[in-house]
């Protein structure tokens, strides 16, 4: 089978995990994936191993492959270390980026901008993820890049409501995120480490608010009118 088919399955599984189409801890059955993709089980197994190495799935003996879980422990670790890792990545990106990477970042930003203008949720999730992946590549640090990759998986999964704005305030924050990306590019071009780090924390705070709304949404209000018709009927009959 062509390499394109193998690549397509790899990208499709990544997309489904990032957009929560595949739930955390969902089982990935090798046989079913093989039948669906038309690939033999050997390349499917290779894809699963690659995804496991990148932090998208977990492969355990006698349990098979599962989408990496999200629980109270992983979420706590995520919120504790994400700002620190993002800031370190940003500072190193300024020091080590190559012109071709900056061009890639600019092109990704234009796709993200277009997706945000069209309220294309899938496009926003994937292009935003790619934007921050490029920062990791710019950092050129073998220790931090895997950590960033793992954080970005949960960042996309927890924060996917950010790209489904339901009110004017959420739309305003989405537009601000686009502006932040532009400012990142400007600061990188100027080799301004402090500006990039400051933006990291502003951008993180913007995302954190929406992620908290996803994790702990406002409770549904009880219907104060429940029982009202019956009460009115009793009053009329008395």
CA 180 to CA 203: how far, in whole Å?
Answer: 7
pTM of the model: 0.83
Task: Tell whether 110 is covered by a domain.
Answer: yes
Cα–Cα distances (Å) from 91 to 13, 104, 145, 146, 197, in that order, read 31, 18, 13, 16, 6
The verdict on 26 and 82 lying in the same domain is: no
List, in sequence order, every residue forming a beta bridge with 66; answer none if it has no partner: 27, 58
Residue 53 belongs to domain with CATH number: 1.10.10.10
The verdict on 62 and 178 lying in the same domain is: no
Domain end residue (candidates: 49, 67, 85):
67
The verdict on 50 and 88 lying in the same domain is: no
The verdict on 124 and 141 lying in the same domain is: yes
Task: Tell whether 221 is covered by a domain.
Answer: no
Overall domain count for the chain: 2
Cα atoms found within 13 Å of the Cα of residue 138, Cβ hemisphere only = 30
The verdict on 190 and 144 lying in the same domain is: yes
The verdict on 61 and 76 lying in the same domain is: no
Task: Tell whether 62 is covered by a domain.
Answer: yes
pLDDT of residue 192: 98
The verdict on 87 and 201 lying in the same domain is: yes
pLDDT of residue 1: 43
Q: How many CB atoms lie within 10 A of CB 7?
A: 11
pLDDT of residue 86: 97
The verdict on 20 and 86 lying in the same domain is: no
122 token code pair: 């899938």
Residue-level pLDDT, tens digit, the chain, 238 residues: 455 578 899 999 999 999 999 999 999 999 999 998 889 999 999 999 999 999 999 998 777 899 999 888 888 899 999 999 999 999 999 999 999 999 999 999 999 999 999 999 899 999 999 999 999 999 999 999 999 999 999 999 887 777 877 778 878 888 999 999 999 999 999 999 999 999 999 999 988 877 777 676 666 666 655 555 554 544 444 4
Q: Which residues contact 219 (CB under 8 A, 6 or more apart)?
A: none
The verdict on 111 and 26 lying in the same domain is: no
Residue 167 belongs to domain with CATH number: 1.20.120.530
Task: Tell whether 225 is covered by a domain.
Answer: no
Domain assignment of residue 146, given as a range: 72-215
Task: Tell whether 236 is covered by a domain.
Answer: no
Domain end residue (candidates: 44, 67, 90):
67
Task: Tell whether 44 is covered by a domain.
Answer: yes
pLDDT of residue 4: 57
The verdict on 109 and 46 lying in the same domain is: no
The verdict on 138 and 187 lying in the same domain is: yes
């Amino acid at each position: 089978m062509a390499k394109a088919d193998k690549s397509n399955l790899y990208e499709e599984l990544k997309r489904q995990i990032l957009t929560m189409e595949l739930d955390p801890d969902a089982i990935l059955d090798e046989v079913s994936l093989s039948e669906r993709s038309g690939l033999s089980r050997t390349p499917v197994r290779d894809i699963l191993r690659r995804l496991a190495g990148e932090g998208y799935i977990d492969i355990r003996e006698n349990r098979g492959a599962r989408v990496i879980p999200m629980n109270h422990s992983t979420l706590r670790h995520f919120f504790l270390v994400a700002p620190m890792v993002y800031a370190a990545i940003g500072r190193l990106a300024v020091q080590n980026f190559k012109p071709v990477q900056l061009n890639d970042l600019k092109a990704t930003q234009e796709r993200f901008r277009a997706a945000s203008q069209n309220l294309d949720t899938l496009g926003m999730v994937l292009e935003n993820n790619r934007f921050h992946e490029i920062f990791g590549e710019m950092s050129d640090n073998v220790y931090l890049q895997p950590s960033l990759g793992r954080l970005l998986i949960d960042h996309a999964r927890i924060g996917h409501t950010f790209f489904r704005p339901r009110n004017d305030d959420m739309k305003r924050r989405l537009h601000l995120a686009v502006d932040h990306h532009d400012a990142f590019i400007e600061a990188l071009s100027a080799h301004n480490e402090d500006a990039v780090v400051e933006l990291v924390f502003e951008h993180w705070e913007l995302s954190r608010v929406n992620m908290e709304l996803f994790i702990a949404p406002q409770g549904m209000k009880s219907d104060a009118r429940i029982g009202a018709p019956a009460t009115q009927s009793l009053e009329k009959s008395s």
